[in-house]
Chain A
Amino acid sequence: MKKINHLMIGLIIILALFNGCKPENAELAKEKDAGDFTFMSIGSFSVERIADNWTEVRDGAGRTLVLIPRGTKAPDGYAPNQIVHVPVKRVVAYGYFDIAILKVLGVIEDVLVGVTAKMNDWTVPEVIKGIKQGKIAYLGDYNAIDFERLKIQEPELVLTWDPSIIPMLDKMGVPCVITSTPVAMCLSARMRFVSFLAPFFNREKEGKAYFNRVSQSLDQIRKKASNADHEPKVMWGDIYEKRVLVEPGNAWVGELVGLAQSDYMFDDVFGKSCIEISLERFLYSGEDADILFTYRTQKTGATSKAALARTNAMLAGVKPLKDGKVYSPLPNYAQSGDKLDEILMDIAAILHPECYPGHHLRYFIELPDKDPEKAV
């Protein structure tokens, strides 16, 4: 009996030691060099270097792809649609963030051959130039892709959030990477997503430089916010005609707000980005919030607090619209993932303007109470 008791006490101690806590955000502190790791998980994504000429990756949907250098034989055990020859030379991409990462890696002008937004919707000069020159094709809206046009563009890889195109791409023999995830990307995953795409283009160094840049910006935010004298309450979302959508607490924006000594009102909400919640839940948080980040841009009706209130009478009752602050993203916000450090800094400056005197917002605009009266 004594023996058993000693065994139990020993095991409890081991349990306590083994499950010690890692320092907070330790994984953000340093990005590994390309040659330093054999396995790296990035949110729902992962990269495993099995051999010098054999890298296995898992995309956002958990599908496995294998990256092999051009001209080498693919290892056994993989279907043809799982094999990607690197560096990839022709890419079709759906998401703005994916395209921004191509820019970070310095390959956007060389590899991007197809997009799903029209030229007028773009603020990225490289894409506008590519469309004008005919190198980049507009392939149609996401739900009506022109597969004939896609075939003409001869992509070697498609980066998409829409899994419904997989069967068609499989038939065409084009490998596809799902870049969206079932749960929202956390801050670490958002910053390190570049390390997932980098091996497709042999651009690990550029990926690391980007990570370090964003990481430094985050350190600065943390330091400056530690001097802040108040904790603003923040909500990020919107009420639409039939749905209420918000950024959950596990999303990068939720984490950033917390990191910048602020209180994110949807911290208890977990799930995918742009998650739907009940109207009551939104209004409940709206009673206390100081700052609201709306999804709507000026183009979609967010020109002033009054204009926003007109879109939904319920929204008019939330505190940020009555006596707080409301911020709307500028058109370049969604397409500027390559400047994530600047976006993070903008958000931090909004939360703690006293820590950033003279900061000029580049990705958000504070909504005035009313629309300026039109000159007659």
Chain B
Amino acid sequence: MNKLKDIWSLLGNTNLMFGLIVLMILDLTVGYFMLKSHPHLFYPINDMGFLKWSATYGKNNLYETAWLYLLIFFLAILFVNTFICTTQRVTILFRNKSFSGHKFRFIIKLSPHIMHYALLIMLLGYLVSYLSSETCLSNILLPEKSIRIPDSLYEIHLNSLHIDYYQGERLQYMQDRAIDVQADLTIQNKEKIITGRLGFNKPVWFFPYSIHLKDFAPKSKSGMNRRTYINVIIKKDPGAKYYFSGMILFTFGLLLYSLHWLMERNKITKDSLLT
């Protein structure tokens, strides 16, 4: 029992967290150079899923990928460390009877811990995402044509494609080059129809799928005469709901924390005026 307690307090130690952060900085520095020199080894992780990537690219290129495994190991310890550390403090807060009758003050005091738990939910979400998301690459959509989402009854139809070409005079080399692209999509199955406008950094969401724009053509009015199309990535990501929930919870915690900070500041100002 004592041994368990020792392990519990060792894993919840704040010094361990600082050490982990230093190690993660070192590891990520190595990772930066590995990513820069071997980008092709890491691109597939986004669409293959971590387990499959691990069994292929990861395992066969250990020199270049070891930093990532170490990072996951450190993150796992950080996860446990944050959980234990936060839980210890929350337990103390709950045991503290001075909050009885001051529910609001109690919730305010809880705000940093809410943020910590939110971070854990986000990390969990990313883990779920890397372990179990399905990604379908290179789905080519031509104007007024449809494609079916693999293993589903959904069809995606490209209604229209709007490409804005630069027409200004300030940037000569950008003349007639695409600067923005937006695609109007209809997604439908037997039961429902969804419409959405797709752009770069503006995916179309329809649970449990999301559609992301990867490429399009033509990118220029001059040069190679290319057929009009968009290339989309279709993702089915069960982890999304976790990390979005984590983000909302984190924002809530941050708001409470800001409120706490403002209240403390006002209190200090009032006290200094009185003295």
- Contact across chains for B22 and A163 when beta carbons are under 8 A apart: no
Q: Known: A8-B23, A44-B40, A242-B173. Is A163-B138 also a contact (CB below 8 A)?
A: yes
Binds B, one of A57-65, A202-210, A316-324: A57-65
The 29 sampled A-B contact pairs (Cβ below 8 Å) are A1-B15, A4-B15, A4-B16, A8-B19, A12-B26, A15-B67, A19-B63, A19-B67, A21-B63, A39-B55, A39-B57, A39-B59, A41-B41, A58-B44, A61-B231, A62-B44, A62-B47, A63-B137, A163-B138, A163-B231, A164-B227, A164-B228, A165-B227, A167-B141, A167-B145, A167-B147, A189-B40, A278-B173, A279-B172
Q: Mark B173-206, 1 if CB is under 8 A from A, else 0.
A: 1011000000000000000000000000000000
Q: What residues of chain A lie closer than 8 Å to B16, measured between beta carbons?
A: 4, 7
Contact of A7 among B19, B137, B172, B223 (CB under 8 A): B19
Extra pairs beyond A7-B16, A15-B26, A163-B138 (19, CB < 8 Å): A7-B19, A8-B19, A8-B22, A8-B23, A15-B23, A18-B67, A19-B66, A39-B55, A39-B59, A41-B60, A43-B40, A44-B40, A46-B56, A79-B150, A163-B215, A164-B226, A164-B228, A278-B173, A279-B172
Q: What residues of chain B lie closer than 8 Å to A163, measured between beta carbons?
A: 138, 140, 215, 229, 231
Q: In the docked arrangement, what's the CA distance between A4 and B81, Å?
A: 13
- Contact across chains for A22 and B173 when beta carbons are under 8 A apart: no
User: Is the C-beta of A183 less than 8 angstroms from some C-beta in chain B?
Assistant: yes
Q: Mark B39-78, 1 if CB is under 8 A from A, else 0.
A: 1110110010000000111011101101100100000000
Q: What residues of chain A lie closer than 8 Å to B145, measured between beta carbons?
A: 167
User: Is the C-beta of B248 less than 8 angstroms from some C-beta in chain A?
Assistant: no
Q: How many residues of A contact B (CB 8 A)?
A: 44
Q: What residues of chain A lie closer than 8 Å to B140, measured between beta carbons?
A: 163-164, 166-167
Q: How many residues of B contact A (CB 8 A)?
A: 51
Q: In the docked arrangement, what's the CA distance between A4 and B215, Å?
A: 49
Contact of B70 among A15, A48, A79, A165 (CB under 8 A): A15
Residue on B nearest A241 in the bound complex, by CB: B222
Label chain A's interface by main secondary structure: mixed
Residue on B nearest A56 in the bound complex, by CB: B56
Q: Mark A161-181, 1 if CB is under 8 A from B, else 0.
A: 011111100000000001000
Residues of A within 8 A of B (CB): 1, 3-5, 7-8, 11-12, 14-15, 18-22, 39-41, 43-44, 46, 48, 58, 61-63, 79, 143, 162-167, 178, 183, 189, 241-244, 276, 278-279
Q: Mark B128-152, 1 if CB is under 8 A from A, else 0.
A: 0000000001101110010100100
Q: Known: A39-B56, A58-B44, A242-B175. Is A143-B225 also a contact (CB below 8 A)?
A: yes
B16-45 contacts to A (CB < 8 Å): 16, 19, 22-23, 26-27, 30, 34, 39-41, 43-44
Residue on B nearest A19 in the bound complex, by CB: B30
Q: Known: A48-B56, A143-B227. Is A178-B19 also a contact (CB below 8 A)?
A: no
* Closest 9 A/B residue pairs (Cβ): A18-B66, A164-B227, A164-B229, A8-B19, A62-B137, A61-B138, A19-B30, A166-B140, A39-B56
Q: In the docked arrangement, what's the CA distance between A235 and B40, Å?
A: 25
Q: In the docked arrangement, what's the CA distance between A242 and B41, Å?
A: 35
User: Is the C-beta of B107 less than 8 angstroms from some C-beta in chain A?
Assistant: no
- Contact across chains for A242 and B176 when beta carbons are under 8 A apart: yes
User: Is the C-beta of B93 less than 8 angstroms from some C-beta in chain A?
Assistant: no
- Contact across chains for B57 and A41 when beta carbons are under 8 A apart: yes
Q: In the docked arrangement, what's the CA distance between A22 and B64, Å?
A: 8
Q: What residues of chain A lie closer than 8 Å to B30, measured between beta carbons?
A: 15, 19
- Contact across chains for B138 and A63 when beta carbons are under 8 A apart: yes
Q: What residues of chain B lie closer than 8 Å to A244, measured between beta carbons?
A: 173
Residue on A nearest B147 in the bound complex, by CB: A167
Residue on B nearest A62 in the bound complex, by CB: B137
Q: In the docked arrangement, what's the CA distance between A260 and B2, Å?
A: 65
Q: In the docked arrangement, what's the CA distance between A244 and B175, Å?
A: 13
Q: What residues of chain A lie closer than 8 Å to B57, measured between beta carbons?
A: 39, 41, 46
Residue on A nearest B141 in the bound complex, by CB: A167
- Contact across chains for B10 and A3 when beta carbons are under 8 A apart: yes
Q: What residues of chain A lie closer than 8 Å to B224, measured between beta carbons?
A: 143
Distance in Å: Cβ of B80 to nearest Cβ of chain A: 14
Q: In the docked arrangement, what's the CA distance between A22 and B231, Å?
A: 36
- Contact across chains for B222 and A242 when beta carbons are under 8 A apart: yes
Q: In the docked arrangement, what's the CA distance between A3 and B172, Å?
A: 63
Q: In the docked arrangement, what's the CA distance between A314 and B165, Å?
A: 25
Q: What residues of chain A lie closer than 8 Å to B228, measured between beta carbons?
A: 164
Q: In the docked arrangement, what's the CA distance between A5 and B47, Å?
A: 39
Q: What residues of chain A lie closer than 8 Å to B167, measured between beta carbons?
A: none
Q: In the docked arrangement, what's the CA distance between A121 and B66, Å?
A: 48
Q: In the docked arrangement, what's the CA distance between A276 and B56, Å?
A: 34
Q: In the docked arrangement, what's the CA distance between A162 and B224, Å?
A: 12
- Contact across chains for A62 and B40 when beta carbons are under 8 A apart: no
Q: In the docked arrangement, what's the CA distance between A241 and B173, Å?
A: 10
Q: What residues of chain B lie closer than 8 Å to A21, measured between beta carbons?
A: 63
Q: In the docked arrangement, what's the CA distance between A243 and B177, Å?
A: 10
- Contact across chains for A11 and B60 when beta carbons are under 8 A apart: no
Q: What residues of chain A lie closer than 8 Å to B61, measured between beta carbons?
A: 41
Contact of A18 among B13, B70, B176 (CB under 8 A): B70
Q: What residues of chain A lie closer than 8 Å to B142, measured between beta carbons?
A: 164, 167
Distance in Å: Cβ of B227 to nearest Cβ of chain A: 4
Q: What residues of chain B lie closer than 8 Å to A178, measured between beta carbons?
A: 138
User: Is the C-beta of B268 less than 8 angstroms from some C-beta in chain A?
Assistant: no
Distance in Å: Cβ of B28 to nearest Cβ of chain A: 11
User: Is the C-beta of B217 less than 8 angstroms from some C-beta in chain A?
Assistant: yes
- Contact across chains for B137 and A61 when beta carbons are under 8 A apart: yes
Q: What residues of chain B lie closer than 8 Å to A279, measured between beta carbons?
A: 172-173
Q: In the docked arrangement, what's the CA distance between A372 and B23, Å?
A: 67
